[in-house]
Amino acid sequence: MAVALVLLLIVVASLLFHWLTPWWLPPLASNWQRMDDTLTVTVLITGAFFVAIMLFLIYTVWRYRHRQGQRAAYEPENPRVERWLIGATTLGIVGLLAPGLAVYADYVHPPHDALVLEVLGQQWQWHYRFAGASEKLGGTDVRFVAPDNPFGLDAADPAALDNILVTGNEVHLPIGRPIKVLLRSNDVLHDFFVPPFRARMNIVPGQLSSFWFTPTTAGRFEAMCAQLCGVGHPNMRGFVVVEPEADFRAWLAKQPTFATALAARAAAPKSADPLVARGGALAQAKGCVACHSIDGRTIVGPTWKGLFGKTETFTDGSTAKVDDEFLKRFIRDPAARPIKGFAPVMPKVELSDAEVDALVAYIKAQPAN
Ligand code: CUA
């Protein structure tokens, strides 16, 4: 009797939790109402089966409870019950799978007039690319991937030159227009996910995948990585700003093209120390910036602002002055002597001696003020 009561309480508590929980989808901001409908169908079917099975269990526990002198009957075959169970289970599974298959078929077939946005995932940041005036995405190749060319754009391809490259973790999109998202990864498995759009997809290294959606609500929505991709994974966040077409055009016009980026690169070393510039690009490319700020904020690791020349304390209480030797040794083997006050989560990054020198030069170039 007590067992039956406990089971009944579990059913009631589960249903109450479902209706009262604040943990549910954020308001929909795209065309994918059908994804929400699919989820509703799934919850209804699994919920109905859960309640039915639990009630049956409660009934049998109560009805066939132990009584003195009563013996159990053994009935291994019952074709009628088996047919009924197979039928109900089949219907349930078809109901769970079919709506999702139909939605997915649409999800990967974008309309022909969709605006193409390329999203590049990299430990631990996002890069975005739009086609420029020529309306073509230029050719890319892994051979050209470099700290200052994460997309691996081919400088010899005329179509690449007017491609618009978005730096920083914020991308803008026009409202009411279908967006075809092309996804690439430069290293490991990532997943581009904007919850209010319901849109997401794994980004498999070496594969080009795509999906589409139409933003229907203006606003600023958080984009995130939904696959654990290393220690910097929680920092792989950004924003998608949805705004009227005219505002989007104005924003897009302010973004650099591949040609202007090339020109800026050609002009830059004359004014700045090339080693520091290389270190800065490496800090971006290797994902150091996901954990180390240069503006004094503590993200995961210590800020690089004013780090050089400071005295750091290790977890064992010993101290050392941060100089070239300290930084080189720490970058080579971060786990050897953890710093007090920070989790020992920094990965060993494959770097050549020249790359370590460049990074150290960059860290050195971040004075306290
Ligand atoms: Cu990229 Cu998690």
Which residue, 137, 103, 130, is CA-closest to 115? 130
How distant, in Å, are the alpha carbons of 25, 46, 210, 312 from that of 4? 33, 21, 50, 61
Task: Using the atom order of ligand 1, give the atom closest to the CA of residue 229.
Answer: 2
Q: Which atom of ligand 1 is nearest to the CA of 234?
A: 2
Cα of 285 to ligand 1 centre, how many Å?
A: 15
The secondary element (H helix, E strand) that includes residue 321 is strand 319-321
Give the number of the atom of ligand 1 that is nearest the alpha carbon of residue 236.
1
Residue found by looking up tokens 């230029």 in the block: 138
Q: Which residue's entry shows tokens 């970058």?
A: 331
The candidate with the shortest Cα–Cα distance to 213, out of 288, 129, 114, is: 114
121 CA to middle of ligand 1, Å? Answer: 8
Q: Centre a 10 Å sphere on the Cβ of residue 126 and count the other Cβ atoms it contains.
A: 22
Could you tell me the distance, in angstroms and rounded to a whole number, from the CA of residue 122 to the centre of ligand 1?
A: 8
Per-residue pLDDT, 267: 67
Least Cα distance to 248 among 172, 335, 186 occurs for 172
Contacts of 187 (CB under 8 A, 6+ apart): 122, 123, 205, 229
Coil, strand, or helix at residue 165? strand
The mean-pLDDT minimum among 14-23, 186-195, 347-356 falls in 347-356
Rounded to the nearest whole angstrom, what is the distance from the C-alpha of residue 127 to the centroid of ligand 1?
13
* Residue 188 alpha carbon, nearest atom of ligand 1: 1
Q: Which numbered atom of ligand 1 lies nearest the CA of 227?
A: 2
Task: Label residue 56 by pLDDT band (50, 70, 90).
Answer: very high
Cα(170)–Cα(167) distance, integer angstroms = 8
Of residues 261 and 17, more confidence is placed in 17
Q: How far is the CA of 277 from the centre of ligand 1 (A)?
A: 26
Asked if residues 237 and 216 have their Cβ atoms less than 8 Å apart, the reply is no
% helix / strand / coil in the chain, to the nearest 5?
40, 20, 40
* Residue 129: band (very low, low, confident or very high) from pLDDT cuts 50, 70, 90: very high
Q: Is the pLDDT of residue 29 over 50?
A: yes
What are the helix (H) ranges across the chain? Answer: 2-20, 33-63, 79-107, 158-161, 245-253, 258-271, 274-285, 324-332, 353-364
DSSP state of 137: P
pLDDT given at position 271 = 47
Region 338-356 average pLDDT: 83
Q: Supply the residue whose CA is at minimum distance from atom 1 of ligand 1.
A: 190
Count of positions (residues) in the chain: 369
pLDDT tier, 205 (very low <50, low <70, confident <90, very high otherwise): very high
CA-to-CA separations, 337 to 208, 321, 340, in angstroms, rounded: 41, 13, 9
> What residues have CB less than 8 Å from 127, skipping those under 6 apart?
119, 120, 150, 151, 165, 166, 167
> Tokens 């494959």 map to which residue?
350
Question: 């989820």: which residue's tokens?
Answer: 39
- Write the pLDDT tens digit of every residue in 287-335: 787 778 887 877 778 889 888 988 888 888 888 889 888 898 888 888 8
For ligand 1, what atom is nearest to the CA of residue 124?
1
Q: Tell me which residues have their CB closer than 6 angstroms to ligand 1.
A: 121, 124, 190, 225, 227-229, 233, 236
Confidence class for position 75, pLDDT limits 50, 70, 90: confident
Find the 207 Cα to ligand 1 centroid distance in Å: 16
d(CA 58, ligand 1 centre) in Å: 44
Q: Which two tokens stand for residue 163?
A: 């491609």
